[in-house]
Structure 1
Amino acid sequence: MPFEHIKYSSSASMGNNTEEEEDVDSKSSPMSYKERRREAHTQAEQKRRDAIKRGYDTLQELVPTCQQPDVSGYKLSKATVLQKSIDYIQYLQMQKKKQEDERNALRKEVVALRIMQTNYEQIVKAQQSQPGHTETRISDEVKFSVFQAIMDELFSTFNGVSVNNFSDLSAGVFSWLEEYCKPQTLKDTVFQILRKHHIQMRG
């Protein structure tokens, strides 16, 4: 009987120990789970911060104005990097629009020049088809001489334009163009020069 009592007591004691261990495990398991969650959250937050830092570093490498040091000599703040990046993007957009406008203007100019070329070609063909038309070959020396005489005449009038500053130059150029470069004025100038060369060649 005592032996059975001891055996029972031992079994009961072992059972109690097992229950206590289970209770400890059950109490410690939620704590470990919380720690694991906290650790995972910490790692995710660190990855997010690293990604943001890499993004700011990339912006500083790509944006020219961000490569310049701050006036205070310290590293640029994130707010400054963002603002400089926004300003640079707006600048690029303005440059893009300007280039598109210039491209469109050049396209229109090309179209106009092609139309002029076609018209002049038609004029030349019409003149060549007239009865009694004979083509006269003119040497390059004569062409250059006529061109030089025209340029000398224009320069003699342009020489009076003030070039003291940009404002005077701009005003002078516009006035000169209006006075000496009108179609009729240029026509008269060229006609006089051609007549002089014709007389010289005949003489």
Structure 2
Amino acid sequence: MMMNTKIEKDRRPSGGSRPGSTSYLFSSPCSSAQNSDNDDDSDARSTVSYRERRREAHTHAEQKRRDAIKKGYEELQRIVPTCQQTDALGTGKLSKATVLQRSIDYVQFLLQHKAKQEEDLDKMRKDVMALKIMKANYEHIVKLHQSSPSEDKDTLPEELKFRVFQQMMDNLFIPFNNSVSASNFAEMSASAFNWLEEFCKPQILREIAKASLHHATIDYRS
């Protein structure tokens, strides 16, 4: 009996160890589960935070886009003259559709006006070119007159001047008579202006004057 008691004592843990000192071996699964839950909560919070950031970024971008559109409409109303007028109801505020339509109409007007100006500019360039040609011809005539013999420097009779004018008028009357209709005043006015624009251009008058001077000079010297 005493021997069994000794053996049981020998089986007891030595060094003051307690039976509960090995409980840490059984607490590890619970601790791992708790850590896993904490990680899941952290991931969930990260996902929510990411979604919130995306939502905020999308909201900010949408607001920025709307502000840009609003600013664009305000600029159109400021620079387009027809958008500065009130609407038909007199409320003073134009709808976006009205602002866009008036802006389109104004752009089309500007394009037509630009085309008209380019056409006028081209016509002016042609007129300037014709005037330069006339100027060069007049300078050439003056040089020829200055280099003529001394007898040509005498004063010309008035009759020669009249002949030059008469010759020019005869040359102009031929197309005038063929182009102008005298059926009524309205038709005569319209056809007269058409004749003026077609046969009284600077280059045509220059050729008529040159031919008239040539014929008058030949008649005078003969």
TM-score of the aligned structures, taking structure 1 as reference length:
0.59
Q: Name the counterpart of 1:90.
A: 108
Using a 3 Å threshold, how does the CA distance of structure 1 residues 135 and 59 change in structure 2: closer, same or farther? farther
Q: Name the counterpart of 2:137.
A: 119
Q: Which one has a bigger Cα radius of gyration?
A: 2
Q: Between the two proteins, what is the percent identity of the paired residues?
A: 48
Amino acid corresponding to residue 18 of structure 1 in structure 2: N
Amino acid corresponding to residue 42 of structure 2 in structure 1: D
Using a 3 Å threshold, how does the CA distance of structure 1 residues 108 and 10 change in structure 2: closer, same or farther? same
CA distance in 1, matches of 2:154, 2:42: 114
Task: Find out whether 1:61 has 2:39 as its counterpart.
Answer: no
In the TM superposition, 1:6-17 aligns within 5 A as: 7=24, 13-17=30-34
Once the two structures are superposed, residues 47-88 of structure 1 have per-residue CA deviations (whole angstroms, 9 ceiling, x without a partner) of 111112112222222211112222221422222222111111
- Provide the secondary structure at the position in 1 that maps to 2:99: helix
CA distance in 1, matches of 2:26, 2:110: 88
Q: Name the counterpart of 2:210.
A: none
Using a 3 Å threshold, how does the CA distance of structure 1 residues 79 and 135 change in structure 2: closer, same or farther? farther
Amino acid corresponding to residue 48 of structure 1 in structure 2: R
State which drifts further: 98-107 or 75-84: 75-84
1:132 to 130, 133, 151: 151
- Provide the secondary structure at the position in 2 that maps to 1:132: helix
CA distance in 2, matches of 1:135, 1:99: 49
TM-score of the aligned structures, taking structure 2 as reference length:
0.54
In the TM superposition, 1:45-194 aligns within 5 A as: 45-72=62-89, 73-128=91-146, 129-134=148-153, 171=189, 174=192
CA distance in 2, matches of 1:90, 1:80: 15
- Provide the secondary structure at the position in 1 that maps to 2:151: coil
Relative contact order higher in (CA < 8 Å, ≥ 6 apart): 2
Shift of 1:24: 2.1
CA distance in 2, matches of 1:2, 1:17: 25
Q: Name the counterpart of 1:157.
A: none
